[in-house]
Each structure stands twice: as structure tokens, then as C-alpha cells.
Structure 1
Amino acid sequence: MDPVQTFKSFYSAKPEVVTAAPGRLEFVGNHTDYNGGLVMGVAVDRGIRVAASKRTDGAIILRSEGMDSIAESNINEIKPLNSDKSWANYALGVFDELRKAGMSVSSGFEMSVSSDLPYGAGMSSSAAFELSSGLALGSIYGFETSTANWARIGRRAENNFVGMPCGILDQGVSAFGQRDHIVRIDCKAETFDRVSLPHGVHFWVFNTSVKHALVDSLYATRHKECTEAFEILKQADAQLECLADASPQLVEENKAALGEVCYKRARHVTEETQRVREMETALSTGDLKQAGALLFGSHDSSQHLFENSCPELDLIVEKLKGIDSVYGARLTGGGFGGAVMAVTSSEFDESFAEELATEYGQRFDHKPAIFHTQSGDGARVIS
């Protein structure tokens, strides 16, 4: 439904503002963010739309096309909501952070939310909701800031209010996304750039719906191993500020001191950071063959060095290697299950995807969910 009509169906009036923000795919740079490295993401052509208006009282009311529950709060008592209303915490958290940033508020607001992102596909609907909510609230309350600050406000809302310790990738890509571009983020300096993406590139997402039973503890373990690797390498080079600052050569020279596990984690992070640099060169020259090779190389590193892949993801990537219209593929996101992203030409179509899904289904007890998208624009005010 049109976001204006959605709002009218809930509140019987036209909204003051309508905004949109895209979902995203992690393009390359796996687990480099919290290690101070480089990462690339692409905004997709689907996302979250928000419509909002100020109220005359202090009430806050949020409704969503996809949710039966009505989330309610008040400007004088902002706190996280529970159970079936917890979806609203992303917008409430942004509201809370905007007030901390100096936004003047004298009355509440009502908001409607709609989405055309596939559920559970790892395309960061939360960041899209944060960015679209931020722009909507900024518009009705007269608050302006930079694109980078919108991303930071969204990240702080997720960290501080929702309680999810995410990095800046999701919000940065949703904020800075642009059609036919990749967003490149230096996570240590927290700077954002765009790199041209050849027109006509397609993205296919194969969501396995597999999630390792110990995924949270595995994330924590990888984080700890990376920290240990950094501390060891810092003894060899006191100038290091983060693990991603280390060179692959320094890692090799300290292989024995690192030990097998920390050595593999350090190799992945340093080589993956280098892959982001090489990807920037490949994309700037339109060399999709080289870009694809880097994507396959990234997955191989995740599989064998960072060990955050799984048989389901590996099978999909291996099958995609044999298709001429596929430039490259890799797991996207945290791993230990989840989804594979394939970068393809227009010749790759539903028939290829379904054939792969059938082969996957013969090996495992289910088929992956398939989603096709292209690059899209970042967070924006529509009307």
C-alpha cells in the first residue's frame, strides 16, 4: 500500500512527511568492522517507508502494516517496549537519541511503517527503520544534521536503546546508499565514501534460514580471538591501533607467537581489509571479473580462516562458481548460517536460482529462500 494511504487508514488524516530508507547487503569486508578495518556495503532497491505527523498532546503512537499490535509511549516517559510491541523500539530509540542531540520536542507524534524487504533475509531492516524514522522525526520537529550524523544517531539508538551492539555498517550504508554505487566505510576513522558500481549489476540473495545454535557465543569467541591477536601483534609493532592496521606480512612474521587460531583470525582480518582496497580498484575500473574473484576469495577466507561459514553456505557458493553469469559470491553478514550474496549479470535469472535451490534441497532438508534485487538510493524524504 502507498505510505500515505497506510497512514490515512490508521489515523484518518494525511501525514506531514513521508520518508524511505533502504535495506543493505554486506558486499565485502567480513568481520572487519569491529577490528577497525574497511568494509563495503550496497543499499538495495527495497526498504522501509515511514509516514509521520506531530500530535497536539504528548502521546506517541506507532503502527505497522506488518504488525497487529499498536505501540504507544509518551514524550515524558520514553522506555523500551516488550513482547509484540518491541518492533517500535528502533523508532523510539531514534527519538530518544534525537532529543539528546538537541531536538526540541513539545508534543508527541504518530507514525505508520511499511516495508517491502523480505523477512529474515539479513538485509538490515532495523537500520532502514532507524534512518527513515530519524528523517521523519527530524522533518516534523525541525531538526537537521549531516548524513554521517543520521547514521550515527541510528547506530546509537540500536546500541543504547534496543541493546544491540552493532557497528556502523548497516546505518552507514542505509544513509549513504546511492544507485549504481557501493558504500565504503573506514570503521576506525568512521568515514564514508561511495565507489561506482557498473550499471546493470544484479544481486541474488540465497537465505538458508540456518542459524547455528551457538551463534551468539561464537560471535563473542571470534571477537575475543581477534582482540588476543591484536595484543600479540602490538607487542611486535607498538604503532598498531587495531588489528586491521597490521599487514599480512606482520601476521606471517608472528605466526608462531599468535598460535594456530589467532593466526587464522588475524590473517582473515588483514587480508579481508586488503580485499576491500582491491575491490575499490576493481570497481573503479569496471573489472567485474576481478571483483567476483575477490568475492569468492572472501568466502574462502571466511570458510577456512575465520571459520564462520557452514556446509549450507559453502554448497551455494560452490554451485554458483560454475555459472557463467555469476561474477562472484560469498556469505554476507555475520555467518554461522544466514545468507549468500551472488553478484550477477542480467543473464542470471529465476531458472538458474531455482535449479540451484533444487540441488540444495536434495542435499539438505529445505530449500533456500531466494531474493533478487539491485542497488538503490539511501535514506531520503519522499514528500
Structure 2
Amino acid sequence: MHNAERTIEKLQSSKAKALLSKMYGEEQLSDQMARYSTLIKSFQEHFGDGELALFSSPGRCEIGGNHTDHNHGKVLAGSINMDTIAAAVKVDEPTITFISEGYPGKFVVDLTQQEAVAEEAATLSLVRGIVSGFKEMGYAAGGFKAYISSNVIPASGLSSSASFEMLIGSILNTFYNEEKLDAIALSKIGKYAENKYWNKPSGLLDQMACAYGGLITIDFADPEQPVVQPVNYDFQSSGYSLVIVNTGGNHADLTEDYAAVPNEMHAIAKALGAEVCRDLSPEDIYRNLNSLREQCGDRAVLRALHFFAENDRVDAQVEALQAGQLDQFLELITDSGNSSWKWLQNCYQETDVRHQGITVTLALTESYLKAIGTGACRVHGGGFAGVILTILPNEEATKYARFIQDTMGTSTYIINVREQGAICLDLE
């Protein structure tokens, strides 16, 4: 019997079924078993046979702490049951070869060439950057073949790129490092790859939420050593669903809009002799309000005020969840959404006021939630275009999805927080 067939057989074991049920929920078990079987067969078709290992790396949902991490703030985030999965085999030659479903051709990375290569696909640069990060930080890296498939919607604020990075990191961690690297080490390597090989000035939030697993709060007071604490709460069993709503945003280039948020917060900090907003308090702003408005502009002042309020809200959200006070928690999510909309101002591009997919979807959703008398919504992730998060009763989730489809004509995704971060599925 081939290794691939043996792996498919292992998927039928009670241990594998228990693991998949834990990762994706009981109701998704048969779909996921079929999905992994297809993945293994696709690997075999393209690469032949070998000692197969299966990997999964989740996407992530940001629940609280909108645009705080880059100023050393706090966030509340969770890994979700949409993920990037791979069937992979270790090889002796210094080459990583993979096929990523939905993308044409094979990707081949020659590991003897460590420098970034001009004009190469972003996917290849990221992999090269991850390998370089492993070596830079004193870990081993080597070749493998993989067939990769993902259902983390790209460009949706669910961090499809961080999910992919943590998948590659997990494969190298398992094949070459006896799984020595923890979530923080893997996240730092992902950030290194994005910063150095992809020119994306990202922080650690996305990678941490994908790598760690479960619902977590992260404090970035010291970004080199972020403090992670698990938050023990299950929305689903408390009767509520998390719904990600695609607002059909205009996908113009948003890099400048994103960069302006940390830049303006940093400008306020600098004007007050600090490096980041975390080193200041609202009182510092009040005392110097006129000169700050003059020097940095009103939007920068508002964004800094959002930072302080949002940072405090993360603590309050965690306290509410731990005390089982869901009504209080939902109120805080509503406050967070209002602050992002009014103070942070990341719900539409001011250069393109004709297109406001996020604000229109929020307006419709607020009216919907008012009518049912419960729930909360807010912009999700970076903002300006993309997705919103809605939290509402389980029994309303499909009705709400239909309402969005009928009005906005866009898609919704009901998600669960999953306990497992980026892992190798040990089916033994």
C-alpha cells in the first residue's frame, strides 16, 4: 500500500476524526475528511508518493484592538476554522517545490539563493524570506515538496498571507527542528519575511493569532516579547456566532491609507517627546491640544485618542468575557466600532467618498441588530475596504446572511474560533 493511501486510511481512525471535529466542528467533519483526502490525492498526482505529513494553519479574526498593535497596544484576536492546509514530504535536495491550488504552475524555491530575487512572485519571496528567517535566527531549514490548499478568503482581513507563512513555518519546524519553535518564534520569522522580502511594514499581530490558536489577548508593550494570554470563552456555545461580511470593497491600492494610521499616531507621540502612543496618556493630549492640532492635524489627534480608548477597551472586553457578561462585551464591541468609524476614520477612503462599502454595510447591519434587539458590529482589520465583523445570535446568522445577500449582494462567512494554531496533524 502507498504512503498516500495509508494516510487516507489514517484519516478514518477515531483519533483523526476527533482531531478534525475539534478543529472544524462536528458538523464539518465529513466535508473536512473529504477535503484532506482530495489534498493527499492531489499531492500524489503531482509529486508521486513519499512519507506524507499533513499541516494546517488557520486564518485569524480580530475582535478587539483595531489599529493598536503598531503603537505597542493590546489586541483581542482568535484563530478561526478557515485554514491553509498542506500535504508535504521532506526531500534531501535544497529545493522547496509546491503547488498552491488556484494558482497556475509549480512554485520552486532554490534554497542556495537566499537573497530576495527582483521581480519574482510575492509567494516565492515570502517562502525565501521564511527560510532566511529560520537561518538568521539560528534554526535549520531544508527542502520539501507540498501541495497546498486554502479556504481563507484572500484580501478579506482574515490574514491569508500570515496563514500561509505560518504553514510554511510549521512544515520547516516539523521537518527540520523537532517542533522546537513556539508561536512567538514562528511569528517573528513571518514578520521578518514580510518586512524584508515583501516590503510590508506589518507587525506581529496576524502571525501570532494564526500561530498560537484559540482566543487570545496580546499585549505589544514590548514588541520583541509580546505577552500572550489565552481567553477561555466559546461564543458558539454561548449562543452567538461570529460572522465576517465581505463588503465588496473597491480594491484600489490602500497602502497609503494604511500607512497613514500608524504614521499619524507616531507623529503625535513624537511631538510629545515619545516614540509610540503607548508611552502617553489622553491627558498628555488634552494638555497640548492646540499645539498638536496645529502641528499634526485634527485627524492625527483623533486617531491618538482612539488608540487610548481602544486599548482600555481590550482589557474591558476580556474582563466581560471572563465574567460571562456577554451583553457588556457586545456593548464594548459597538463602542469599538463607533470609535473606528468616527475617531480612527478607517471605514472609507477620503479620496474616494463615492465608494463606501464598509460604512453602508455597517449602517444596514446596525439597523438589523436594532430590530432584533441584540448583537454588535464593527470594521474588521485594516479597514478602508474589505470586511466587517458582526456578532449575533446563532439562530439569526443565516437570516442575516440572506439579508446581506439581498441588499449588498455580497458574501458572508460564519466562523468559529478554533483552539489549534499552526500544526502538524499527527494522525498516529
Distance in 2, Cα, partners of 1:269 & 1:211:
26
**Which structure 2 segments of 5+ residues have no match?**
1-34, 349-355
- The match for 1:93 is 129
- Aligned pair count reads 368
- The match for 1:229 is 268
Counterpart residue identity of residue 291, structure 2: A
| Aligned-pair identity (%) | 25
Residue of 402, 413, 416 corresponding to 1:374: 416
- The match for 1:354 is 402
Match status 1:134 vs 2:174: no
- The match for 2:96 is 60
Q: Kindly indicate which of the two structures has a greater share of residues assigned to strand.
A: 1
- The match for 2:221 is 188
Counterpart residue identity of residue 266, structure 2: T
Residue of 318, 337, 350 corresponding to 2:363: 318
- RMSD in angstroms over aligned alpha carbons? 2.2
Q: Cα distance, 1:246 vs. partner? A: 2.5
Match status 1:345 vs 2:393: yes
Q: Cα distance, 1:171 vs. partner? A: 0.5
Residue of 69, 80, 83 corresponding to 2:105: 69
TM-score (norm 1): 0.89
Residue of 192, 199, 203 corresponding to 1:167: 203
- The match for 1:219 is 258
Q: SS state of the match for residue 62, structure 2?
A: strand
- The match for 2:313 is 275
Q: Cα distance, 1:313 vs. partner? A: 1.6
- The match for 1:237 is none
Q: SS state of the match for residue 218, structure 2?
A: strand
Distance in 1, Cα, partners of 2:112 & 2:120:
22
Q: Is the CA contact 1:31–1:334 (under 8 Å) kept in the aligned structure 2?
A: yes
- The match for 1:334 is 382
Q: SS state of the match for residue 47, structure 1?
A: strand
1:286-305 map, 5 Å: 286-305=324-343
Task: Give CA deviations for 1:324-354 in whole Å, capped at 9, x if unaligned.
Answer: 3752110011111111011122112322222
Task: Give CA deviations for 1:9-50 in whole Å, capped at 9, x if unaligned.
Answer: 221114442211100111111111111111111111111112
- The match for 2:286 is 252
Q: 1:101 to 1:17 in 2, by over 3 A?
A: farther
Match status 1:8 vs 2:44: yes
Q: 1:213 to 1:199 in 2, by over 3 A?
A: closer
Q: Is the CA contact 1:22–1:47 (under 8 Å) kept in the aligned structure 2?
A: yes
Match status 1:40 vs 2:76: yes
TM-score (norm 2): 0.80
Q: SS state of the match for residue 21, structure 1?
A: strand
- The match for 1:364 is none
- The match for 2:12 is none
Q: 1:303 to 1:199 in 2, by over 3 A?
A: closer
Task: Give CA deviations for 1:46-97 in whole Å, capped at 9, x if unaligned.
Answer: 1111222222323321111222221112221135467784324333322221
Q: Is the CA contact 1:47–1:128 (under 8 Å) kept in the aligned structure 2?
A: yes
Distance in 1, Cα, partners of 2:81 & 2:164:
15
Task: Give CA deviations for 1:97-121 in whole Å, capped at 9, x if unaligned.
Answer: 112222335x532122111222332
Which stretch shows the higher mean deviation, 295-304 or 51-60? Answer: 51-60
